[in-house]
Structure 1
Amino acid sequence: MTVTRVWLDCDTGSDDAVAIMAAALHPDLDLVGVSCVNGNVTLDHVVDNTLRVLSHIGVDVPVHRGAVRPLMRPDFPVPRHILNPEGSAFHADTLPLPASPLRESQTGAAQAIVDAFMADGGDEIVLVPTGPLTNIALALAIEPRLASRISRVVLMGGARGQGNVSGSAEFNIWVDPEAAEAVLSAGIRDVLILPLDATHSAPISLTDCERYEQLGTPAGRASADLIRHRIVGYDDREDTGDAAPVHDALCLAAIVRPEVLTHVVEAAVHVETRGELTIGATIVDDRPWRDEPANARFALAADRALFASFLAEAFQP
């Protein structure tokens, strides 16, 4: 059995929490570190929530505090529930888990990423950003050789179709579009993007939640509760019925079960950083006759049942 080492960079709200549990517990994954970035909630809450998740499932890995604001926009309206009160339906400031006795690392996120990937064997780690890409852009700026040491990135962000903070922009990319463009332009050799198109095609249902709860594990019960809360929030806003996307956890499923992604295109992907109406939009050019070579793979659809089963594998006793 091949075990893949992963580093999560997250803005821990509810779907990040499920992703952390999947990364820490799935037998085919080895979570080696977590870096935190401001996004769904303020950075203090991101760090606290991350520690709560890890201690709840009995896992202790280094947790690093990262960027408190975007690269170029110190007054950018974050966290999510401030820019959009409906965001609190998905991401409460504090997750409903006990306070953690764990403590964060004294090494900042960007430096920790550099240290991990520049070390011997660092090129075997998969980098999994599930929030704004500020920490990753800062790490690339600190160490120019880092892009050549990162062998693979699997990130949640962007949209080819409709965004979730504007008609064209998805939250993670929109918060720090300059950072996202810097990462996509860095020359990292394998970048897989899981946008809203893919995550919304594979929602987790109330029936799945019952399955996770019946596993009887701390992760199974916690994930069921968090996803149920997401289902209520999404249904109130979008009439999604008995299911909701769990965006960030799909990244881990794509690492362990690549076949979970049923439609992936190779494309030249860039981020709009100046448009008044399109700021944060991901521009996906998969035309065969484009002039620019592809810099990423962009997933457009996923297998819902396979994703749900992956989470059950992760949360089993």
Structure 2
Amino acid sequence: MHRIIIDCDPGHDDMAAILLAAWHPSIQLEAITAVCGNAPLHHTTNNALRIVDAFGLDVPVYAGAELPLLHRYAFPAEFHGPSGLDSAGEELPPARSKAQPQHAVDAIIERVEAAPGEITLVVVGPMTNIALALALRPGLAQKIKQVIFMGGSAGEGNVTAAAEFNIWADAEAARMVFRSGVKLVMFGLNVTHQTLMRREDVAQIRAARAGSNPVADIMDFYCGTYYSFAGADKPGAPMHDPCAVAYLIDPSIFELTAYPGEVLVGADGGYGQTLIDLRPQDPAHDQRVKNVTVAMKADPQRFAALVTQALSWAAGRISSTK
């Protein structure tokens, strides 16, 4: 059983990651912590609550950092819509529950310290909450089982030529996490562009529920925004965040290799780049520390089957939208 906290900024693919974790019996989803990223914190927290309520998940939600450590940027509404979780049709119902009074950073610290070596942090947004937790408790890195994150790239970026959005949004926080000594497993753009939500997958999700189907409509919105700038001829839209959860469920979907890694900061065009050192190493002469295990290849068919099954389950489970 994998005990996890999902730290996220929902987000369409964040929703898919949460539902994949909630669906699979090998995962115990202990908490959801929200951070600013795809949208402001009040939207990402509200979206997490909407997901929990709509699908009847018994999971506490905690609000975290309202701003990155240093970086300031305009929230990218063109990808996820103004709310961060827009739909092409039926929306998720409004949230009925409220976030827990405890701050997300304190919740992460408390839960990790209560079960040293047992809690995996699945981080699918900017790393602000994790960096703050490590700053408050420097010894926490040795108590976290692992940090599995969607972010960065061993190749090209998306928000800039060099940087992927989640890392770019708070590169200073990501650098702190990379340098903390915590066990890191990275799912960057180089692999998430292999893991697609295809049109036939959305059709299968839609077929799982008679009548209105917010899950399929939300995936339609997400895929549609991707096709609008990448081209309608694309076979599918990258499903970034669910990779971090899919790896826990079935690691054999992915091929991973350990490398030295660093996050670049500063004012130049490399801000937010995950600099993954792919050069061959000679163990006898090279002292570079391989501090991050990087997913390099995925089995797209098996990934799509797993995520589609989870979202079809969710489509049949959702509460009334009226």
Q: Distance in 2 between matches of 1:100 and 1:26?
A: 24
The gaps in structure 2 that reach 5 residues or longer are: 317-322
With structure 1 as the length reference, what TM-score do the two structures score? 0.91
Letter in 2 for 1:115: E
The Cα shift of 1:286 comes to: 3.1
Aligned to 2:59: 61
2:207 to 191, 204, 214: 214
Q: Distance in 1 between matches of 2:195 and 2:210?
A: 24
Letter in 2 for 1:174: W
Contact 1:158 1:173 (C-alpha < 8 Å) held by counterparts: yes
1:297 to 290, 293, 296: 293
Aligned to 1:159: 153
The Cα shift of 1:309 comes to: 1.6
**Secondary structure in structure 2 of the residue aligned to 1:145:** helix
Is 1:52 aligned to 2:50, yes or no? Answer: yes
In structure 2, the CA distance between the partners of 1:43 and 1:217, relative to structure 1 (3 Å rule), is farther
Bigger mean CA offset, 239-248 vs 251-260: 239-248
Letter in 2 for 1:295: N
Q: Distance in 2 between matches of 1:101 and 1:277?
A: 43
**Secondary structure in structure 2 of the residue aligned to 1:45:** helix
Aligned to 1:272: 264
The Cα shift of 1:208 comes to: 0.8
In structure 2, the CA distance between the partners of 1:134 and 1:78, relative to structure 1 (3 Å rule), is farther
2:134 to 140, 157, 167: 140
Aligned to 2:102: 107
The within-5 A match list for 1:1-317 is 3-73=1-71, 76-81=72-77, 86-88=78-80, 92-95=83-86, 96-119=91-114, 121-188=115-182, 190-216=183-209, 221-239=213-231, 241-261=234-254, 263-287=255-279, 288-289=281-282, 290-315=286-311, 316=313
Q: Distance in 1 between matches of 2:218 and 2:244?
A: 18
Q: Distance in 2 between matches of 1:88 and 1:155?
A: 20
Task: Name the count of aligned residue pairs.
Answer: 304
Q: Distance in 2 between matches of 1:297 and 1:222?
A: 35
* 1:218-237 CA-partner distances (Å, limit 9, x unpaired): 9x944322222122111110
* 1:225-270 CA-partner distances (Å, limit 9, x unpaired): 2222122111110115241011101111011110111x32211110
In structure 2, the CA distance between the partners of 1:221 and 1:265, relative to structure 1 (3 Å rule), is farther
Q: Distance in 2 between matches of 1:129 and 1:217?
A: 33
Contact 1:64 1:106 (C-alpha < 8 Å) held by counterparts: yes
With structure 2 as the length reference, what TM-score do the two structures score? 0.89
Q: Distance in 2 between matches of 1:222 and 1:184?
A: 37
Letter in 1 for 2:259: A
The gaps in structure 1 that reach 5 residues or longer are: none
* 1:150-176 CA-partner distances (Å, limit 9, x unpaired): 111110000122211100000000011
In structure 2, the CA distance between the partners of 1:310 and 1:301, relative to structure 1 (3 Å rule), is same
Q: Distance in 2 between matches of 1:221 and 1:252?
A: 23
Q: Distance in 1 between matches of 2:189 and 2:308?
A: 22
Contact 1:227 1:246 (C-alpha < 8 Å) held by counterparts: no
Q: Distance in 2 between matches of 1:256 and 1:130?
A: 16
Contact 1:70 1:134 (C-alpha < 8 Å) held by counterparts: yes
Q: Distance in 1 between matches of 2:289 and 2:278?
A: 9
Cα RMSD between the aligned structures? Answer: 1.9
